[in-house]
């Protein structure tokens, strides 16, 4: 759908040689931090920008030079952009009126849309009289009523609060199931992207880092950027010491025992790599693990923890390293005595659960700085919230 697209604003290249194609009926997400070019890509698709290079193709037709009103795509804007002087009904009817449909057809179609978004009672209200979530639904209905070939959604949930965002996410999914139109979804929230999309394109600095299903992108990221942007992970800088048949590598890491890891791609001894292990893949307990159960085990001290309800996040000091592990609460936690501050604990993970990434010296610095604003459906706490969570915990837990 996008072919070698480039767009520059002044000296800033917003989108750099991007090609990707979206299947009909798919929910496709463009995911990346702000300024990565995802919104520009969306605006190129809607026709608000024209590419400096490359083509935008819709259904085999080059639409790069068509004005927005001639394109069979519709947009749900981040701030909704509902017409303030029109009622909800007139907002939804706008596209149909412009298309010159007769008023009985318009009434039928708008009423059908009002049913879909459950806003029949509010049809005569002005946008200023309805809530944020309702505005959101009207914005979606206003776009969908025109039966676009692609529905473009520009951070449609960003302005809503957490609970509403989760509900709208489910509603969006249901609407997509009902209308079956292709959704192109722009977001910086990995949780939204993962839960809604069929496929995700992770973008960084105007380029696409990886395209894949949510599970592929999460479980098997191809770059450190993707690994760090989607979910949390522990990065260990290491060097491949030796190949271990059938398809594993032993990795030397400063200050840790050697780690065993599955090879996603061929590795040779001496390669500089990142070993990345997701926190939920790491087991944690007070007692040592049997080495035939887990290839990688190590001992450390609990430095910090945050109780998250369904799980507890631990920061465990192992020599120079601070390892993050997520302890799932499968049992009633108050009957157990989970490890607490200063406790000695054992960590363990399978060789298949980590993955190796080529080291890019420059990106690493940035990754470690990156704020985690995209919480996994709000279950996670970002590091800057850590202290707050801790206080709440220390007063409530009673050791």
Partner 1 sequence: MRTLTPRRIQETLFTAPSFLWLLVLFLVPTLMVVSMSFRTADPYGGIGDSFSLEGFKDIFSPSFPGILFRTVNLSFQTTLWCLALGLPVAYFIARAEKKHQAHLMLLIIIPFWTNFLIRVYAWKIILHPEGMLKDMLVALRLVSEDTSLLYNQGAVLLVLVYTYLPFAVLPLYAAIEKFDFTLIEASRDLGAGPLRSFFRVFLPGISQGIVSAVMVVFIPALGSYVIPDMVGGTDGEMLGNKIAQRVFVDRNLPRGSALSTLLVLAVVLPVIGGLVVKKIRSNGRAFADVPSIGEHGL
Looking at the DSSP bridge assignments, the partners of residue 150 are 73, 182
Helices (H), 54-144: 88-98, 103-116, 132-144
Instruction: Outline where DSSP puts E strands in 63-206.
Output: 73-76, 150-154, 182-187, 199-204
Closest CA to 230 of 206, 211, 253, 250: 211
Question: Residue 208: exposed, middle, or buried by beta-carbon count in 10 A (0-12, 13-18, 19+)?
Answer: buried
What secondary structure does DSSP assign to 267-320, as a single string?
--TT-EEEEEE-GGGSEEESSPPPTTT-SEEEEEEEEEEEE-SSEEEEEEEETT
Task: Give yes or no for a contact between 44 and 50, defined as CB atoms under 8 angstroms apart.
Answer: yes
Q: Which is nearer to partner 1, 132 or 319 (CB)?
A: 132
- Site pattern 225..264 for partner 1 (x: CB under 8 A): ----------------------------------------
CB of 74 to partner 1, least distance (A): 6
74 makes contact with partner 1 (CB under 8 A): yes
Question: Of 6, 55, 77, 248, which one interacts with partner 1 (CB under 8 A)?
Answer: 77
CB of 145 to partner 1, least distance (A): 9
68 makes contact with partner 1 (CB under 8 A): yes
Q: Which is nearer to partner 1, 4 or 67 (CB)?
A: 67
3-state helix, strand, coil in the chain (%, to 5): 30, 30, 35
121 makes contact with partner 1 (CB under 8 A): yes
Longest dimension (CA), the chain: 75
Q: Strand 283-285 to strand 296-307: parallel, antiparallel, or no bridges (unpaired)?
A: unpaired
Q: Which is nearer to partner 1, 47 or 238 (CB)?
A: 47
Near partner 1 by CB under 8 A, which window of 45-53, 200-208, 226-234, 299-307?
Answer: 45-53
Q: How many residues bind partner 1 (CB under 8 A)?
A: 26
CB of 75 to partner 1, least distance (A): 5
Which two tokens mark 339? Answer: 């490890």
Near partner 1 by CB under 8 A, which window of 118-126, 305-313, 364-372, 385-393?
Answer: 118-126
9 makes contact with partner 1 (CB under 8 A): no
Question: Of 85, 268, 292, 331, which one interacts with partner 1 (CB under 8 A)?
Answer: 85
Q: Which is nearer to partner 1, 12 or 120 (CB)?
A: 120
Residues interacting with partner 1, by CB under 8 A? 46-48, 67-69, 73-75, 77, 79, 81-85, 94-95, 98-99, 120-121, 124, 142-143, 146
């Amino acid at each position: 759908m996008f072919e070698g697209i480039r767009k520059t604003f002044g000296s800033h290249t917003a989108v750099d040689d991007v090609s990707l194609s979206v299947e009909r009926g798919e929910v496709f997400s463009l995911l990346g931090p702000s300024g990565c070019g995802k919104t520009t890509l969306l605006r190129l698709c809607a026709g608000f920008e024209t590419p400096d290079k490359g083509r935008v193709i819709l259904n085999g037709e080059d639409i790069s030079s068509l004005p927005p009103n001639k394109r069979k795509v519709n947009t749900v804007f981040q701030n909704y952009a509902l017409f303030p002087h029109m009622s909800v009904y007139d907002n939804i009817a706008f596209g149909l009126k412009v298309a010159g449909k007769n008023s009985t057809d318009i009434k039928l179609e708008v009423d059908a849309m009002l049913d879909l978004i459950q806003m029949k009672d509010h049809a005569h209200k002005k946008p200023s009289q309805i809530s944020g979530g309702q505005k959101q639904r009207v914005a979606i209905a206003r776009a969908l009523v025109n039966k676009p070939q692609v529905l473009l959604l520009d951070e449609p949930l960003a302005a809503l609060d957490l609970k509403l965002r989760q509900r709208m996410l489910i509603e969006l999914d249901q609407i997509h199931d009902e209308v079956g139109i292709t959704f192109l979804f722009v977001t910086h929230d990995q949780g939204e992207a993962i839960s809604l999309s069929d496929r995700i394109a992770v973008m960084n600095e105007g380029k696409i880092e990886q395209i894949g299903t949510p599970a592929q992108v999460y479980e098997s990221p191809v770059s450190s950027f993707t690994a760090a942007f989607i979910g949390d992970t522990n990065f260990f800088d290491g060097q491949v010491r030796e190949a271990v048949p059938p398809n594993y590598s032993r990795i030397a890491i400063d200050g840790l025992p050697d780690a065993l890891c599955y090879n996603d791609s061929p590795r040779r001894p001496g390669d500089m790599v990142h070993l990345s292990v997701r926190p939920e893949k790491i087991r944690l307990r007070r007692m040592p693990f049997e080495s035939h159960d887990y290839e990688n085990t190590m001992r450390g001290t609990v430095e910090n923890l945050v109780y998250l309800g369904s799980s507890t996040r631990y920061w465990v000091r192992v020599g120079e390293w601070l390892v993050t592990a997520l302890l799932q609460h499968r049992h009633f936690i108050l009957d157990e005595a989970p490890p607490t501050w200063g406790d000695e604990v054992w960590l363990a993970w399978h060789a298949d659960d980590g993955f190796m990434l080529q080291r890019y010296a420059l990106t690493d610095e940035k990754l470690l700085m990156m704020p985690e604003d995209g919480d996994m459906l709000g279950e996670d706490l970002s590091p800057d919230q850590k202290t707050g969570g801790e206080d709440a915990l220390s007063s409530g837990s009673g050791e």
